[in-house]
Amino acid sequence: MSDFKITQDKFPLIAEKLGVEEDELKKFLPSFNKFYKKVSLQHLAHLMRAMELYVREETNNPTFRIVWCNMSGQNVTSAVSFKWKDKYGIVIPAELEENLKDLRAHVAHELGHLFYSIQRPENEDKKTHQDMANIFGVFAMLERNYFYQEKAPKIKHNTSEEVIDDFVKFVPKR
């Protein structure tokens, strides 16, 4: 899949097809990489955003948001979450950064705690909360797996040039 990595050998083709200067691509890439590094750490970002909207609607709290906290260098051994009035923090231990499969499971589990606390705010039984968080995680991962296996192949590109061609239609007529 290296065909889809952003490398300088693709700059001439991108510049030609989109009608931009190669130097502009070179200047733009570091800023994009800095931004996208944070994006790539947002495992299950689509689920997190949907959960934010769900909680905002269910609680009538338009400022609610979910934040991701990386704990590199800290003595945190498992994923945990904290709920405040306007915020839900998911804390991820450093050792999970290398195991993306486990990391996604931990994030889904923590989102499950939030979901269940909105569904059943009166239930404070810890075992039930753990069980429901696990069930939510399983359901979410099954749905995501279905999406990647069944839906994503229908919208994927076979080459990086196909990606570039998708944006040629936006190039202004000169």
pLDDT digits (tens, 9 = 90+) for 50-72: 999 999 999 999 999 888 776 65
pLDDT > 50? residue 1: no
pLDDT band of 2, cuts 50, 70, 90:
low
pLDDT > 60? residue 174: yes
Percent of the chain whose pLDDT exceeds 70: 86
Report which of residues 158 and 100 the model is more confident about: 158
Integer Cα distance of 13 and 15 in angstroms: 5
Domain boundaries, the chain: 2-40, 45-154
> Which of 37-46, 88-97, 144-153, 161-170 ranks highest by mean pLDDT?
161-170
Task: Please state, rounded to an integer, the average pLDDT across all residues of the chain.
Answer: 83
pLDDT > 80? residue 22: yes
pLDDT > 80? residue 147: no
Return the beta strands (E) in the chain as ranges. 65-71, 80-83, 87-93
pLDDT > 90? residue 158: no
Residue 172 CA to its chain's centroid (Å):
31
Report which of residues 102 and 40 the model is more confident about: 102
pLDDT > 70? residue 77: no
Residue 98 CA to its chain's centroid (Å):
16
Beta bridge partners of 66: 88
pLDDT band of 121, cuts 50, 70, 90:
confident
Q: Cβ neighbours of residue 91 under 8 Å, at least 6 residues apart?
A: 69, 71, 76, 79, 80, 81, 82
